[in-house]
Structure 1
């Protein structure tokens, strides 16, 4: 899938250093993730291996030769009855926001989710993630619930919004 200047493709091991750098920015400078310490490149290698071993997509958005975003699906919960439900994760380089890159990643992710046997997709978005809320609503996600003050980061309590989208499968 391609948008102006952005190509979405499966992630490779060579991309994971860029993935780690993009995510580290949000760990250090925002509350859109509740991680307090950025995962290492080795942590991302493990995550990439786990995701792809389950037949789930882990995608990269390229602009030219630069990785400007990533997205993946991961199991929603470990119990076997949840095996057809996945949680999406999308992060963009700070310079890549507002250009359709998130939409390109989410569109590709949802298309691959359906072919991976996923029937429900969940998004867990912090209350500070307005851009992510707008993006998910645009793709048919609806609010499924709220959890108030469940995370503490940068000296304040933060809630999350759960969004859900069924897939046609």
Structure 2
């Protein structure tokens, strides 16, 4: 009986969490690692292409002002174009993020407009409010003449 009660309380708590929502925020510590999969689908000359990469991000430093230095390293990747699979080789970069998660600087071989664009698209941009399962939000950024980054937009869904 006791185990049923514990299960029922846990189920109710989980249901309440799903309805109420939760705040999503990244609060990294030095040494934290995140591995994630990115899938991009696009049309190239009316031909469907898909790029799939697995990346490892490691927090190298968290500064007192809340800025974060992260190393991004590709683990594996492939592109499929017109039915042909090709390997994708990424480059290791270091990115400094501001306290609000905005990109301050990229150091490495991809410290160009393309590197900033990809960093903006693959970074996590937390919602400004609590979210529940099924909720969506959008993050957007303007072009930056200093870095060469173009305007960007990312849509999220929980």
TM-score with structure 2 setting the length: 0.33
Write 1 or 2 for the structure with the bigger share of helix. 1
Q: Could you say which structure has the greater relative contact order, defined with CA pairs below 8 angstroms and 6 or more residues apart?
A: 1
TM-score with structure 1 setting the length: 0.31
Write 1 or 2 for the structure with the bigger share of strand. 2
Answer with 1 or 2: which has the greater Rg.
2
